[in-house]
Copies of this chain bind each other. A is one copy, B any other.
Amino acid sequence: MQDAPMVKVKLRDVAEAAGVAVGTVSRVLNRNPTVADPIRRKVQDAIAALGYELDPVAQSMRGGRTRLVACAIRDFDIPRFGIFIKEAEQVLRAHGYTLLLSSTTNRPEVEVELLRAFEGRKVDGVMMTVSDEGDPDVIAALAAARMPVLLIDRDRIESADRVVVDHRTGAALAVEHLLGLGHRRIAMLVGDTKAYPSRSRVQGYRDAFLAQGAAPMPHLLRDRVLTPEDAFRETMALMGLAGPPTAIFVAAMDMLGGCIRALRTLHREVGKDVSLVAGADSELAELHAPPVTAIAWDLAEMGRHAATMLLQRMAGEAADAARCLTLPTRLTIRQSCTAVAPPAAGG
């Protein structure tokens, strides 16, 4: 309506005045939390000084041009992850957003490519996992993203909003429980420690040992357990050791079945020959005979928080600094863990 004949201030004028790149100005306008505070202030000062007015394209972008939110996770056949998706979708839909879904197949190059594709589709926001929180290409792609990105259960890239689960405490509770029953040879199966969940579970395992003045057993710690087949194979290998574990902590989602299959193959009885803790609760853990002690957290709540935090960021209602929300874990004690005799002196 206002076709005032004044000279229109452009993004590049603001960039020049602030001494930053045009992309940086755009990121400030889009409230991208990757911009450091001093730079953000410089840009905001330049905007105020020049009387820059948001142009309609930028405005419609900020106002949610496509009303699409992308969600990219490792794999859709992780059964319990559907609960997260379900809840996130409901919150997003209530706000008029549609969910776009892609799997990263746990590969950094796919993650980078997806971020680019989401930009091409002009999605308003992204929630995703990354397979390696130290990957420079992924970090660069996240920093350059023109839309807000929320990381799911990843804590290291602090420039992005994050919703994480307190796996460290959960793992420590599980290992404390086993140590309290007299176990020392406690094996642990985890996924890839390049990502937060497995990394923090290993920390929890160590925390529990150190808190009791006991030495962790690195040779009983098996990582990169990513499929039930991996869990089967590692359990077979562990039980074949000269000093096999008296307890196994299957500290990854949906790997319990593989471990139980191996123990069954070896005719080792859960709760009798070997104690067992599941790193993520499931119907299998609950209804197994004997029922399996398990760590649990609320995936529905996680989905709701992720969607809500991303909506706030997209609407510009979030504080400029990136936020990290941590959800608690609890240990549900069932009948799969029994006491062992204390080890013989020198054992």
Interface residues of A (CB under 8 A from B): 68, 75-83, 85-86, 89-90, 93, 98-103, 117, 121, 228, 257, 260-261, 264, 283-284, 286-289
Q: Are the C-beta atoms of A89 and B77 separated by less than 8 Å?
A: no
Interchain residue pairs with CB less than 8 A apart (22): A68-B100, A75-B82, A76-B82, A76-B85, A76-B86, A77-B83, A77-B85, A77-B86, A79-B80, A81-B82, A82-B82, A93-B102, A98-B102, A98-B121, A99-B100, A100-B101, A257-B286, A257-B287, A261-B287, A287-B288, A288-B288, A288-B289
Name the CB-closest residue of B to A100. B100
Write the nearest CB–CB distance from A103 to chain B, whole angstroms. Answer: 6
Most-contacted residue by chain B among A86, A100, A261, A283 (CB, 10 A): A283
CB-CB nearest 10 A-B residue pairs: A79-B79, A289-B289, A257-B283, A76-B86, A77-B82, A76-B82, A101-B101, A76-B85, A77-B83, A77-B86
* A76 contact set on B, CB distance < 8 A: 82-83, 85-86, 89
* A284 contact set on B, CB distance < 8 A: 283-284, 287
Q: Are the C-beta atoms of A101 and B82 separated by less than 8 Å?
A: no
Please report the C-alpha to C-alpha distance between residue A83 and residue B78 in the assembled complex, in whole angstroms: 9
Q: Are the C-beta atoms of B100 and A98 separated by less than 8 Å?
A: yes
Please report the C-alpha to C-alpha distance between residue A264 and residue B85 in the assembled complex, in whole angstroms: 31
* A80 contact set on B, CB distance < 8 A: 79
Contacts A76-B85, A82-B82, A261-B287 aside, 15 further interface pairs with beta carbons under 8 A come to A76-B86, A77-B83, A77-B85, A78-B82, A85-B101, A86-B103, A89-B101, A89-B102, A98-B100, A98-B102, A98-B121, A100-B101, A257-B283, A284-B287, A287-B288
* A102 contact set on B, CB distance < 8 A: 89, 93, 98-99
Please report the C-alpha to C-alpha distance between residue A121 and residue B260 in the assembled complex, in whole angstroms: 46
Write the nearest CB–CB distance from A55 to chain B, whole angstroms. Answer: 25
Please report the C-alpha to C-alpha distance between residue A257 and residue B98 in the assembled complex, in whole angstroms: 32
* A228 contact set on B, CB distance < 8 A: 283
Name the CB-closest residue of B to A83. B77
Please report the C-alpha to C-alpha distance between residue A76 and residue B77 in the assembled complex, in whole angstroms: 11
Name the CB-closest residue of B to A118. B98
Please report the C-alpha to C-alpha distance between residue A183 and residue B310 in the assembled complex, in whole angstroms: 55
* A289 contact set on B, CB distance < 8 A: 288-289
Please report the C-alpha to C-alpha distance between residue A90 and residue B101 in the assembled complex, in whole angstroms: 11
Name the CB-closest residue of B to A78. B82
Write the nearest CB–CB distance from A298 to chain B, whole angstroms. Answer: 13
Write the nearest CB–CB distance from A170 to chain B, whole angstroms. Answer: 21
* A98 contact set on B, CB distance < 8 A: 100, 102, 117, 121
